[in-house]
Amino acid sequence: MNDLSYPIGAAPASSPALPEQRSAAIAALRSFPAELSGAVAGLGDTQLDTPYREGGWTVRTLIHHVADSHLHAYVRTKLALTEPEPVIRPWDVDTWAELPDSRLPVQPSLDLLAGLHARWAELYSSVDGPGWERCFVHPDLAGRAGRPPAAWAQAFQADEQGRVRLARWLAVYIWHGQHHTAHILGLRQRKGW
């Protein structure tokens, strides 16, 4: 695909519904940190500080963003499993990306993702049939009838109350990881790295 913003396209329309689809999705969640680490293997500071597209974040910022985002997503998963329809707190990804920790070496975020995804995959592995219908409420997605959702919000498939189901959440975050890994791999290909 030629769209540098969405190199693998939009998030998939479907969520894992069958046991074998859920097992495959959990395996993808578990293997993601190694794939991301492989995508940045051998890159030096100059390469890590290169934007993946004009006007886009640098590779370094992408790695730290993925760690921030997946950490939020993991906590939201746990909240959905432990509370009835918890209302989550939104966060401003661009403001977070400007904080000083987004200029650190990428290894701390890669290490965080390795441990986080091991726990997250284990957590999803424990979800039973009705557990897949558990949800959290995203306040930015509630009451949007008749208004188009923000581009990022379309992927969540929230209902009118802003509820996002755990099966959908898993599908979105597998896509999110693949999406940002494709940004890096695409840049490497274009630059011949």
Average pLDDT rounded to a whole number, residues 53-75: 97
Tell me whether residue 153 is in a domain. no
Q: Give me the percent of the chain exceeding a pLDDT of 90.
A: 82
CA-wise closest residue to 175 among 53, 22, 32, 61:
32
pLDDT of res. 62: 98
Tell me whether residue 35 is in a domain. yes
Tell me whether residue 130 is in a domain. no
What CATH number is given to the structural domain containing 100? 1.20.120.450
Tell me whether residue 36 is in a domain. yes
CB-based contacts of 151, cutoff 8 Å, min separation 6: none
Q: Is the dihedral of CA 116, 180, 72, 147 positive or negative?
A: negative
Tell me whether residue 41 is in a domain. yes
Radius of gyration for the alpha carbons in the chain, expressed in angstroms and rounded:
17
- How many Å apart are CA 90 and CA 32, to the nearest integer? 24
Tell me how many domains the chain contains: 1
What is the pTM assigned to this prediction? Answer: 0.93
User: 31 or 158: whose pLDDT is higher?
Assistant: 31
* Most confident of the ranges 11-20, 64-73, 137-146: 64-73
Digit-coded pLDDT (tens) for 102-120:
999 999 999 999 999 999 9
Tell me which residue range forms the domain holding 102: 20-125+174-191
- How many Å apart are CA 173 and CA 11, to the nearest integer? 9
Tell me whether residue 157 is in a domain. no
Residue 150 identity (one-letter amino acid): A
For all residues of the chain together, what is the average pLDDT? 93
CB-based contacts of 134, cutoff 8 Å, min separation 6: 80, 81, 127, 165, 166
